[in-house]
Amino acid sequence: MIKIITIFGTRPEAIKLAPLIKEFQNFPNDFELKICVTGQNRELLDQVLDFFNLKPDFDLNIMKTNQTLFDICIEGLRGLDGILENYNPDLIVVQGDTTTAFIGALAGFYKKIKIAHLEAGLRSGNKLSPYPEEINRVFISHLADSHFAPTQNAAQNLMTENIRKNVWIVGNTGIDALFLGLKLMKQQNVEKYRDFFSFLDFSKKFIMVTGHRRESFGKPFENICYALKQIAERFEDVEIIYPEHLNPNVRKPVNEILKDIERVHLIEPLAYPYFIWLLEKSYVVLTDSGGIQEEAPSLGKPVLVMRDVTERMEGIKAGTAKFVGTDQTKILNAVSALLTSKKQYEKMARRINLYGDGTTSKRIRDIILKQYNKPV
């Protein structure tokens, strides 16, 4: 059997690795799989593990109050040393651009173990935005042996860096997870999701907001909050739902500026099924997240990107996403246009699969089988 270990530590990684892990688990005669989590983001990670019924074989549990990037690197590498030495896998699978993904690839390199990188080739071209993710993914690409690029553009970025061997364009497993999540939800009591959001007025238009980027800490976050305040005050037919990131650099300005504003709902981070339920019901999405830039177009939701650069230019080029940065006026004007102009809204609100069709995990599984001379 092919011995594989997946290494991840955050909610986005868990979401995007879940469907691939399921694929490996569906072929027990071909794959011996171990799941290793660092616990870089403990609470948000555990929500996803529970929903997809994933049980880690190894848990480094490194998260601590006010942790730094140095803490994650040092404690993560120290914990992975013994695990990789004892298990000695054929392949390490990491996803995306987190610090956990970087140290997983670095540990594999130190142990001379082959590394597969999911969501390979994303680039913003600015090493400080997103920070530290842009440099993490550049490092991972130069450590990895197999590169699973979500789009042609991502594969071209790798070619530009002279990474040409073992590069496959497969789509993004995040879309697999979205479709799998919606399927699992429909098998449950879907009314519980509506009941959970009973504080919302379902006759109004929902604006979903997520924001957490380190490069936006300080004045940029204040600008975002003041824009949201103006939107709520100007449009009475709108409700703004903001699941707050746990980072105090996010919570402080958000609560100081938005806490008592009518029709602005500051809520705790949502478990993944509740998140995608709300995403499906939203009218407009305001985000600095990478994953939502992929998910929202698959559901036909316009995306306003609160960043100055993005590694996911496919949505921008297709017109389903638009840059607004952290400029208060730009955010207000862009949201206002979508709320008042049917033509503008319909131009962006197109259901389109820019980043995959839900079969990415199967493609990756088959490629790995072929790499190890196994029949598909």
Eight-class DSSP state of 145: S
Peptide bond connecting 132 to the previous residue in cis, omega within 30 degrees of 0: yes
List the Cα angle 364/124/269 in 5-degree steps. 75
| Burial profile 19-31: b = 16 or more Cβ within 10 angstroms, e = fewer | bbbbbbeeeeebb
Distance, CA of 183 to CA of 150 (rounded, Å) = 22
Told to judge if 265 belongs to the known catalytic residues of this protein, a careful annotator would answer: no
- What token pair was written down for 142? 């130069």
Distance, CA of 177 to CA of 14 (rounded, Å) = 10
Told to judge if 117 belongs to the known catalytic residues of this protein, a careful annotator would answer: no
Q: Are strands 2-8 and 238-243 parallel, antiparallel or unpaired?
A: unpaired
List the Cα angle 293/189/22 in 5-degree steps. 55
User: 91 and 12 in contact (C-beta within 8 Å)?
Assistant: no
| Active-site pick, 23, 59, 119, 244 | 119
What SS3 state is found at 126? coil
User: 230 and 257 in contact (C-beta within 8 Å)?
Assistant: no
| Active-site pick, 30, 71, 214, 366 | 214
From the list 294, 287, 192, the residue with the least C-alpha distance to 243 is: 287
Told to judge if 176 belongs to the known catalytic residues of this protein, a careful annotator would answer: no
Told to judge if 346 belongs to the known catalytic residues of this protein, a careful annotator would answer: no
User: 17 and 173 in contact (C-beta within 8 Å)?
Assistant: yes
What SS3 state is found at 279? helix
- What token pair was written down for 355? 């980043």
What is the residue-wise DSSP string for 169-221?
Answer: E---HHHHHHHHHHHHHHTS-THHHHHHTTTS-TTSEEEEEE---GGGTTHHH
Told to judge if 212 belongs to the known catalytic residues of this protein, a careful annotator would answer: yes
| Active-site pick, 11, 147, 245, 312 | 245
Told to judge if 357 belongs to the known catalytic residues of this protein, a careful annotator would answer: no
| Active-site pick, 11, 137, 212, 213 | 212
Phi/psi for 274 (5° steps) reads -70, -35
| Active-site pick, 13, 133, 239, 294 | 133
- What token pair was written down for 90? 């054929």
Distance, CA of 175 to CA of 159 (rounded, Å) = 24
| Active-site pick, 13, 75, 97, 134 | 97
The catalytic site residues sit at: 97, 119, 133, 212, 214, 245
